Structure 1
């Protein structure tokens, strides 16, 4: 059986294998399907220099980014953004921020990159107006409802889709573009080749992360914080569960892992050496992650990527033979980057990798030894003296001899990063000599009471967490440095009795004109000349402008006091700066409250009945309970659900093997068969739609924007495919899953109406009360909503493969040996719970929460609010346990048992290892979201950052 599964695994990997020709999808053949090519053909711009986008968690970081060469800066307000723990900017500051940036020729992007709840939409409308009036250059959004509101409130305000929108294909990018998105930020899991495919498959601009932290889960698809802390990552309150230690259970046995504890904590991303390839791939904007980091980090990363982009673009322009010229980052630059921030290092892993840009390399991505920034490895403890610690400096083969100087910070690493570690500022360094011309031994001494020497011992690793000299050098590069935009200065003085005119023009064609406050006169002794004018104008010191070129035209025999010239200069500067500040300010926003009008229209218009849609949705007056749908991941579970007389079954098999037979078996039993599609659709998987259509299921559960766009491009539900690999197949009704992240009425309306869905499951970020309120907002159309009343929350959905990394020596599907086909894996968290890990047909891993979550106590309220369907999701339950779960809910809905009785039954159902993990309310629990003021603000000291 494992062999059969292997033959049909649908992987995005180069060595794609399949059981039939229908599955042989080469990278070339699936890159761009014909209809999509036609949709974007002819819209390509000639190659332009990519923009460099730097992060700013506050004013110090923003000024550092500008001084270091950023083309644009992204930042958030104190609400509605994905970095709640950053200092951020108050709404009252936004005009000053935008003015500061625009005067210096830098763009400002504001993040609204969270899911927005219905009760927050009025605030969002106010903020959209504020941002448009202030002249921000773009807003970065995740939420489809927020996107719809922006397009109505400020139609000319550019919108960029956040990486939280989980866009990983050209079709996903087109889904966003047709909703008004100008630029898409692609998932960090894409390779350079994938990014190029996205670029070729959309007319939207493509932005990619090039440096900073890597989330292990696909952005927008992580529910670990929601499951365990009630503080969702989709709401800007990530609890960083991926940075926690986990044990590895293989087939029920706890595996001895040595120092590998942080199994889900990737090293950080660094793509400096890949800048030329990314430019060639069509990336329009290079994005640096780090709004939680300090100004030193921002300054260094921005400067280095500025230099890399400039060098690579210049080399590309000068390349006559059309060959790529090599580009390399110096060892000193790499050392500096590792020092300011790198994560997950050990003596040989320095904490920065290309991530997924070179494809899947699981052995490299996650080291597993430590989850946080260490700095630079300098050596090992050789002895503990009465006054200090002797350290053998080696640097672990980094290529440069490390050093430690007074004022530097160090930490002593015993391989237990989850515990408190000793470290501090070095007071004195005593050199004990060089050995073999390479390594040397030093003694580090500290201030009295700073270090407990009794906790230290021989063999401990030593890290330099702070380099005082580097810190001073970086600060000097931006502190007091003000970026000045180059302008052309035109001076005209032609006729006696008229004023002298100064015109300043910037690179974008904006101009400022100033005239002298006195009129030109006949010169009696010293006539006005070009040198005198330039002396009076000066270099525009004290302003964010500098003169790059002058064009001075003065008629002979004229005179004007220098004071008059300076008046004209000041007026021209003020006028140009005003033009630079105001050029993006909105002036065409509609009057009145747009949101109220939108919601009124949604409430009034209703959705038309569809002939090909569900025939089992309840009427508005129905008093019966919603029907049950059961999601099954094995054939045995599906057979158990059929035996329980469930009328609709979702087939969410991890492999395509057996899916057709299971679909036919469910339909033969007189039940509706719905087939689940992947949550992530990468470029090499874009033709999976044909396989799913050929199954002839009663409906498809759509989980990604890319798949939804493709199926709509084919004509949507009811359409017959006219050509291609699914010629003659009909597009069945489309159901949207939680992964589409509908969190408010506007988003739900968009997906149901514009998106062509006939049923929609809301995001897990909504608790039961919020789902009830949203259903009420939709009125009769709430019958098209489905709520998951039982599940093991999918806490992580990752491109990184736990099986390949820790059960093989392989880097990808090509060489891992496919341990996922024989090994049953759980991750044991610090509280002793075991979370099941499963690999899907694309080799992506899903980690399911150990404890089930149940909405049993909410079913009456949910039913009364109009929900049309209740869903039960099974994970790895046996047929008997699946039957027990389904029959329990059937008894509850009939009124045979109470919700308390059902919860007691569910609480005793064991997992696949016969261990009882329990049940709770999970994300459905009605509880207050943590206030942002309760979240610890980040320290602006780059050397101490742990995020």
Structure 2
């Protein structure tokens, strides 16, 4: 079966360009809760018109409500969804767990799609989203053909994959670089794209762009994607101009329709429309490296001839029409009758004027057909017609034209009528109040060497270590009241899960009793292990509804997003014990590419998917920006890289975090030595000021 082609519609003109060039569906933003708030997007009137325009032509419309939403914003986000549902939107893309839970409970007949911002890249995560009510799962851009095939084979929901457009260096939904550096959150639709700026590895930023990837183009893999069961191919580009949308949509639509790969001329047109040093299909091929990097000069000339031709074509509004069949009956002494039928099963009938006896020239079936066939200027074309006319009758041209106009209007009403959907009341939150008077300190360590007697003497409530670190430990010191926790990899693949389960078993044998889950796919991985499941920061908890959702999933606590302000955390309904990070270098990115390997080269561990046991990416590496700020690079499971903020978060001298109702306050140790970890913990217990350069994070200033 041919996959649906989903095109971006950042404006009404882009929507028309997409529809006229063969899109099967479009995705667009309406209101304040979408991940491309910088696009023109749609006014209320334009949104209603867009739905009618698309549905009249057989194109589906998906609304993007895929940003994180605060408790105060949830009612407005729900109302946006309600209005869209009433107008007949075909689905809503969601990132926020609280909004997702609210929509599935209050608008149960409205299809929901798991946005790529949910960071889903395993079959377990995809199945979990499907079991919770997602009709479709949008996979991470980093998924390979192997990953995608595995998910398609096991996921009961539809699978959507990105086929063309921009690649972010960080996994979608896990990037905090724009938020922490400039206060503009990618999770809130305001990304400033710091990844497109120059950086230097262990050197001042020069002319290298180690975070800027080429655009992806999978135009040569569409047959393979269709064969493995990908249900929808997404084209990225809501921030790009309508002519770009027209060119790219038109080429991909032809490739799908004709079941072939692109010609050299089509490849050239795709590159002219927009590219960054060409294209890449590396992630799909299951590889990565510096060859994926690419930039685009602001002086790149517009492909005027290509764009002028594309615009001239879609502005005619005649490239996309719906075939209809007419059946007309004109008989003496009764109103004339015209029926229109479309391929989707709609059939409408209208009546018109009563014919008169002919005084001179009698009406013929051929003359009626000629009038009815004139559907120009509408969304329809007549492909078949049957006309029956009694002898000796007369009917004016105006009356026949009116029949045609009326029947097509009636057909449009039938095609654009919103479906009847239930609207249920907002369910109350659980009655539990898990607010605590004073939070207990928890620790997360990056290396086992950071553990010391001095650290243990401070009596943390919990210590977590990465699961791949625990895998190499033979014993853990036990203390009364201390909980040992395994921190699961933020990114992994289905092929890694047997290894991760073995490591979990080993961790349990060491006395580990809990696990930090930062991804929906962690939950099926942890079921049956006997470990207490705790929500990590990767889940992006932004409101009390998200806590309620995770409580229903069986989590015992959850860490809230570090993009929230103190007041927002304070006012969050704490239906689940809540944790916040109060110290440490906050994670800016998690990347599929090993940045050290791209810049300097390093050796992959041949014995497994973990980071190399030796090589430069295990030692301290720094990424420097144009201001001289240095961002430590930490190795992550699967030979990936996690970029840390240049300055640690310091709140020891701020009593605010102790009055938020938190159950746990986490000290996140990354680059610190064992002695520094213990000293920082003591400073927090005593409420001391910071000794060096630090940040208050986003807890005071918040994000856009």
Scaled by the length of structure 2, what TM-score is found? 0.93
Q: Which deviations, in whole Å up to 9, do the C-alpha atoms of 1:307-358 show, x marking residues without a partner?
A: 111121xxxxxxxxxxxxxx43222222222222111x2xxxxx21114111
Is the 8 Å Cα contact of residues 467 and 503 (structure 2) preserved in structure 1? no
Q: How does 1:452-467 map to 2 (within 5 A)?
A: 465-467=301-303
2:519 paired residue number:
704
Are 1:182 and 2:135 counterparts? yes
Counterpart in the other structure of 2:670: 875
1 CA distance for matches of 2:177 and 2:184? 9
On the 8 A contact 1:839/1:846 being kept in 2, the answer is: yes
2:487 is aligned to 676
**In structure 2, C-alpha distance between the alignment counterparts of 1:785 and 1:310, rounded to whole Å:** 51
**2:535 aligned residue:** 736
Separation of aligned partners in 2, 1:488 and 1:97:
22
DSSP 3-state at the match of 1:504: strand
- 1:888 matches 2:683: yes
Cα-to-partner distance string for 1:754-777 (whole Å, 9 max, x where unaligned): 211001101122122211111xx2
* Inter-partner Cα distance in structure 1 for 2:116 and 2:351: 49
Distance 1:638 1:904 in 2: 21
Give the match for residue 158 of structure 2: 205
CA distance in 2, matches of 1:505, 1:820: 68
Note closer, same or farther for the CA distance 1:656–1:352 as it changes in structure 2 (3 Å cut): farther
Equivalent residue for 2:689, pick from 888, 899, 903: 903
Residues 880-889 or 503-512, more deviating: 503-512
The offset of 1:224, in angstroms, is: 0.5
> Residue 153 of structure 1: which of 106, 120, 126 is its match?
106
Distance 2:341 2:297 in 1: 46
Alignment match, 1:338: 271
**CA spacing shift, 1:809–1:848, aligned 2, 3 Å:** closer
The residue number in structure 2 matching 1:360 is: 287
In 2: Cα distance, 1:829 partner to 1:94 partner: 41
Q: Deviations along 1:723-763, whole A, 9 cap, x unmatched?
A: xxxxxxx42111001111111111111011x2110011011
The separation in 2 between residues aligned to 1:864 and 1:766, in whole angstroms, is 15
Partner of 1:828: 624
Q: Distance in 1 between matches of 2:9 and 2:477?
A: 54
Residues 360 and 811 in structure 1, CA contact (< 8 A), matched pair in contact too: no
Instruction: Look up the match of 2:261.
Output: 328
Q: How far did 1:710 drift? A: 3.7
Contact 1:53 1:288 in 2 (8 A): yes
Give 3-state SS (helix, strand or coil) of 2:262's partner.
Answer: coil
| Secondary structure in structure 1 of the residue aligned to 2:563 | coil
Contact 1:807 1:819 in 2 (8 A): no
Alignment of structure 1 residues 796-875 onto 2, 5 Å: 796-808=589-601, 819-820=615-616, 822-859=618-655, 861-875=656-670
Cα distance between partner residues in 1 of 2:218 and 2:603: 23
Structure 1 position 691 matched with structure 2 position 503: yes
Q: Which residue of 2 aligns with 1:939?
A: none
Pair 1:759-2:561 in alignment: no
What is the rounded CA distance, in whole Å, between the counterparts of 1:166 and 1:95 in structure 2?
31
Q: Paired residue for 1:544, among 379, 398, 402?
A: 379
Matches of 2:61 and 2:446, distance apart in 1 = 46
Match of 1:572, SS?
Answer: helix
Quickly say closer, same or farther: Cα 1:735–1:630, change in 2 above 3 A: same
Question: Is 2:492–2:637's contact at 8 Å kept on the other side of the alignment?
Answer: no
Q: Residues 544-596 of structure 1, C-alpha deviation per residue, up to 9 Å, x if partnerless? A: 111122234456666544433322222111111011111x3445324xxx44x
Q: 1:301 aligns with which of 244, 248, 266?
A: 248
Match of 1:397 in 2: none
Preserved CA contact (<8 Å) 1:362 1:812: no
| Residues 580-632 of structure 1 deviation map (CA, whole Å, 9 limit, x = unaligned) | 111x3445324xxx44xx3xx2153x28xxxxxxxxxxx86x75x32211111
1:642 to 456, 459, 474: 456
Partners of 2:33 and 2:68 lie apart in 1 by 8
Distance 1:647 1:123, change over 3 A: closer
Contact 1:491 / 1:552 at 8 angstroms: preserved in 2?
Answer: yes
Distance of 2:65 and 2:142 partners within structure 1: 22
Partner of 2:214: 267
Residues 87 and 882 of structure 1: is their aligned pair in 2 closer, same or farther, counting only changes over 3 Å? same
1:47-62 matched pairs, under 5 angstroms: 48-62=1-15
Question: 1:791 Cα shift?
Answer: 1.8
Task: Pick closer, same or farther for the CA change 1:132–1:648 going to 2, 3 Å.
Answer: same
Specify the SS of the correspondent of 1:298.
Answer: helix
Quick one: distance in 1 between partners of 2:558 and 2:286? Answer: 33
Q: Deviations over 1:833-852 (max 9, x none)?
A: 21111222211210011200
Superimposed CA distance per residue, residues 36-87 of structure 1 (whole angstroms, 9 cap, x where no aligned partner): xxxxxxxxxxxx2211111111122111111111111111024111112111
Change (3 A) 1:565 1:92: closer
> What are structure 1's unaligned runs of at least 5 residues?
1-47, 313-326, 346-350, 375-410, 412-463, 608-618, 715-720, 722-729, 893-901, 908-917, 931-947
When residues 695 and 656 of structure 1 are mapped into structure 2, their CA distance, relative to the original with a 3 A threshold, is: closer
Q: Which runs of 5+ in 2 are unaligned?
A: none
Structure 1 811/75 Cα, relative in aligned 2: closer, same or farther at 3 Å?
A: farther
User: Aligned-residue CA RMSD in angstroms?
Assistant: 2.5
- Superposed displacement of residue 210, structure 1: 0.8
Q: Which residue of 2 aligns with 1:772?
A: 570
Q: 1:669 to 1:843 in 2, by over 3 A?
A: farther
Write the distance in 1 (CA, Å) between the matches of 2:421 and 2:337: 30
Quote the Cα distance in structure 2 between the aligned partners of 1:812 and 1:215: 26
Q: Which one of the candidate residues 433, 441, 445 is aligned to 1:632?
A: 445
SS at match of 1:667: coil
Pair 1:476–1:819, CA change in 2 (3 A): farther
Give the SS at the match of 1:666: coil
Aligned counterparts, 1:15-54, within 5 A: 48-54=1-7
Residue number in structure 1 paired with 2:79: 126
User: SS where residue 143 of structure 2 aligns?
Assistant: coil
User: 2:545: which partner in 1?
Assistant: 746
2:337 is the counterpart of 1:501? yes
CA distance in 1, matches of 2:114, 2:282: 21
**Could you tell me which residue of structure 1 aligns to residue 65 of structure 2?**
112
The aligned residue for residue 244 of structure 1 is 197
Q: Distance in 2 between matches of 1:656 and 1:665?
A: 9
Pair 1:792-2:585 in alignment: yes
Match of 1:667 in 2: 478
Residue 278 of structure 1 and its aligned partner are, at CA, apart by 1.2
* 8 Å contact kept, 2:326–2:382: no
Q: Which has the higher Rg, Structure 1 or Structure 2? A: 1
Question: How many angstroms apart in 1 are the aligned matches of 2:62 and 2:386?
Answer: 35
How far did residue 709 of structure 1 move?
A: 3.3
Tell me how far apart the structure 2 counterparts of residues 738 and 193 of structure 1 sit (CA, whole Å). 28
Partner of residue 568 from structure 1, selected from 403, 417, 432 = 403
Secondary structure at the residue paired with 2:72? helix
The structural deviation recorded for 1:538 is 2.2
Maintained 8 Å contact 2:602/2:616: no
Deviation at 1:822, TM superposition (A): 4.7
> Does structure 2 retain, via aligned residues, the 8 Å contact 1:680–1:703?
no
Preserved CA contact (<8 Å) 1:173 1:198: yes
Q: Is the 8 A contact 2:452 2:678 kept in 1?
A: no
Aligned to 1:589: 423
